[in-house]
Amino acid sequence: MLDARPESASQLDFVQIADFSSHDVFRDAVKDVDSIIHVASVSLRAFSDPEHDWFSMNLDILLTPRKPFSYSVGDNEKELVLPAINGVKAILNAAKSQPSIKRVVVTSSFASVLDVSKPVGPGFTYTGKDWNPLTYEESVDPKTSAVVAYRGSKKFAELAAWEFVEKEKPGFDIVTLCPPMSRRCCGRRRAVRDMCPLRRKSSPMKLRQRL
């Protein structure tokens, strides 16, 4: 990453996170930060990997796992649902300790919005009132597939974020984005410097923002 963006090397810091479940784990990482972008959900398999790390960029902290997300789980609650919830709580608790932070952007998912039992046609507009109807119990049930449990993990992680703000009333606001799809370039050495060609080549996608 540093080789791909040498002009930004002085603005990029790497911070290794050992235990995502600790509420204090991000406190040092967010010092002198004015905004946070939480961009990924992690499973316990990736989260417990000793090589799993995060990076921060200048005055904005960008959180992203090195290891790819996996549906190969044996315990929906332990490996999918709770890590997603605890990850959001950990970063919000850290943000609350820094008066300089004014906004936290949480990348949720269309999985937290979609009701698969209710097909909708063209022209339907989702709003902030639309939520996946899965219950917590359904999400963690051993009989529930990991794909469905993942939808629950995104829903309950996002709910945890909104509940945190309502209860704790921190000095920052939050925005949650619910994309139906996310894409990345293949190849570790390939840097994206201009989003326009990607937009022209990609099919239209809508991001829903809960306000």
Q: What is the DSSP letter of 77?
A: I
119 Cα distance to chain centroid: 26
pLDDT 10s digits, 135-177: 999 999 999 999 999 999 999 999 999 999 999 999 999 999 9
Q: Give pLDDT, residue 132.
A: 94
**pTM of the prediction?**
0.75
Active site residues: 154
Residue 42 banded pLDDT, cuts 50, 70, 90: low
Say if domain 6-210 classifies as CATH 3.40.1350: no
| Encoded tokens for 188 | 């570790």
Cα–Cα distance measured from residue 142 to residue 104, given in angstroms and rounded to the nearest whole number: 33
pLDDT above 60 (res 62): no
